[in-house]
Amino acid sequence: MIDIEFVRSRFIKHFDGKTGNVYTSPGRINLIGEHTDYNGGFVFPGAVDKGITAEMRANGTEDTVMAYAIDLKDRVDFKLSDPAGPKASWARYIYGIAKEFQKLGVPVKGFNIAFAGDVPLGAGMSSSAAMESCFACGLNDIFGDNKVSQWDMALAGQATEHNYCGVNCGIMDQFASVFGKAGCLMRLDCRSREFEYFPFKPDGYRLVLLDSVVKHQLAGSPYNDRRNSCENVVKHIAAKHPEGQFETLRDCTWEQLEEVKDEVGTEDYMRAKFVLGEKDRVLAVCDALNEGDYEKVGEMMYKTHEGLSKDYEVSCEELDYLNDIARECEVTGSRIMGGGFGGCTINLVRNDLYKNFIATAKKKFNEKYGHEPKVYDVVIGDGSRRLC
């Protein structure tokens, strides 16, 4: 986690010398359940020990925000009443959360904020959700009397993506960042929003991320197209079954998908096929975890990778290569993590194979792409909170 004193020193330097309160929120991993959140399915994320840390303080103005992104050395001032909001993409997360909080009735006024992060950007570990929930946590404390619920904080983060950043995302990332708990994964039913904490300490195995360093960016990417494809399939199924209730692919069966195969076209069919399979895999993984059957968990992870690569088409050459190396090294499970289009693979590796896997992956990847993948050992940490 980022050192509080580091953030504080910048906050003092860039504003009026006064200190504020410090908040932090993590990025996330996801064991399984990819692109299921906006399809009303299940996800299996956990918060990580890396995230965003911000110092914040009301500045006494009606609606002027003074913001400093420490890592980028970039300062942006803007007014909350400006309907266009700031141009800098990082500042739009601050603007978006503040606007969404105002919609919730929180009397957000002007404030100063400086923030830094150690969650890698564009690695698919949800640095944007970490920002949103960190800023939400701060605004809730400073202007909201901490009355905004955890769910409303997560939903404000998601609405920020939709309304100010152009990403029509699901709720997984913001949920994981707000609700995370050290040592636990969380199984969330994205339709009912019920969730349960799953202590995750796989005896004899560890989780490691390999970052391809291919920058994953969801804004303006085909991420929204994937969602549209899924929604299109649901529309067709609903039209065929006026007696039923079809909100998302969660409500659809394999048989119903086959019925609309010809009318929705190959591409949308493949997208929905992946989602229905993934829905089943998350439940299989839950059973396997309950039985301590990590080999089964791993098998599902490989299947997910295949589906994400071939049917959902959100992989890239580098991620497929990392997956191949994992198989060669007899890694238990490996797959793309997060939205895709770059970023990391998540790998479930037996302790005795770990060293060889990492060394082989570094060597082979470097030979092919001229640089090593970055390696992040996963430590499952706590969610959004005030530090001081």
Question: How far apart (Å, rounded) are the C-alpha atoms in residues 72 and 74?
Answer: 5
Q: Does residue 173 belong to the site contacting ligand GAF (CB under 6 A)?
A: yes
Complex with ligand GAF: residue 110 or 166, whichever CB lies closer: 166
Residues making up the chain, counted from first to last: 388
Among 170, 342, 373, 381, which residue interacts with ligand GAF (rule: CB under 6 A)?
Answer: 170
Complex with ligand GAF: residue 274 or 321, whichever CB lies closer: 274
Q: Does residue 35 belong to the site contacting ligand GAF (CB under 6 A)?
A: yes
Distance of CA 286 to the CA centre of its chain: 20
Among 23, 38, 44, 78, which residue interacts with ligand GAF (rule: CB under 6 A)?
Answer: 38
In order of 125, 215, 295, 355, the CA distances from 342 in angstroms are 11, 5, 26, 24
Number of residues engaging ligand GAF in binding (CB under 6 A): 11
Residue by residue, DSSP assigns 180-236 as -BTTEEEEEETTT--EEEEE---TTEEEEEEE--PPP--TTSTHHHHHHHHHHHHHH
Q: Does residue 66 belong to the site contacting ligand GAF (CB under 6 A)?
A: no
Question: How far apart (Å, rounded) are the C-alpha atoms in residues 144 and 87?
Answer: 26
Complex with ligand GAF: residue 34 or 320, whichever CB lies closer: 34
Map tokens 């048989």 to a residue. Answer: 255
- Residue 253 tokens read as 């069966």
In order of 66, 177, 179, 197, the CA distances from 218 in angstroms are 27, 18, 23, 28
Complex with ligand GAF: residue 37 or 313, whichever CB lies closer: 37
Closest CB 4 distance from ligand GAF, rounded Å = 28
Complex with ligand GAF: residue 35 or 271, whichever CB lies closer: 35
Question: How far apart (Å, rounded) are the C-alpha atoms in residues 313 and 315?
Answer: 6
3-state secondary structure of 20: coil
Complex with ligand GAF: residue 117 or 144, whichever CB lies closer: 117
Q: Does residue 307 belong to the site contacting ligand GAF (CB under 6 A)?
A: no
Lay out the site mask for ligand GAF across 319-338 (x = CB under 6 A, - = otherwise). -------------------x
Contact between residue 187 and residue 44 where contact means Cβ atoms under 8 Å apart: yes
Among 27, 34, 315, 323, which residue interacts with ligand GAF (rule: CB under 6 A)?
Answer: 34
Among 20, 37, 67, 271, which residue interacts with ligand GAF (rule: CB under 6 A)?
Answer: 37
Q: Does residue 131 belong to the site contacting ligand GAF (CB under 6 A)?
A: no
Closest CB 166 distance from ligand GAF, rounded Å = 12
262 is catalytic: no
Q: Assign residue 112 a region: left if phi > 0, alpha if psi is -120 to 50, beta otherwise?
A: beta
Complex with ligand GAF: residue 51 or 338, whichever CB lies closer: 338
Closest CB 356 distance from ligand GAF, rounded Å = 30
- By the 10 Å C-beta count (0-12 exposed, 13-18 middle, 19+ buried), 21 is classed as middle
Closest CB 363 distance from ligand GAF, rounded Å = 30
Within 332-371, the residues that bind ligand GAF by CB under 6 A are: 338-339
Contact between residue 48 and residue 61 where contact means Cβ atoms under 8 Å apart: no
Question: How far apart (Å, rounded) are the C-alpha atoms in residues 66 and 68?
Answer: 7
Q: Does residue 42 belong to the site contacting ligand GAF (CB under 6 A)?
A: no
Residue in 49, 118, 152, 173 annotated catalytic: 173
Q: List residues near ligand GAF by CB under 6 A.
A: 34-35, 37-38, 126, 169-170, 172-173, 338-339
Catalytic residue numbers read: 173
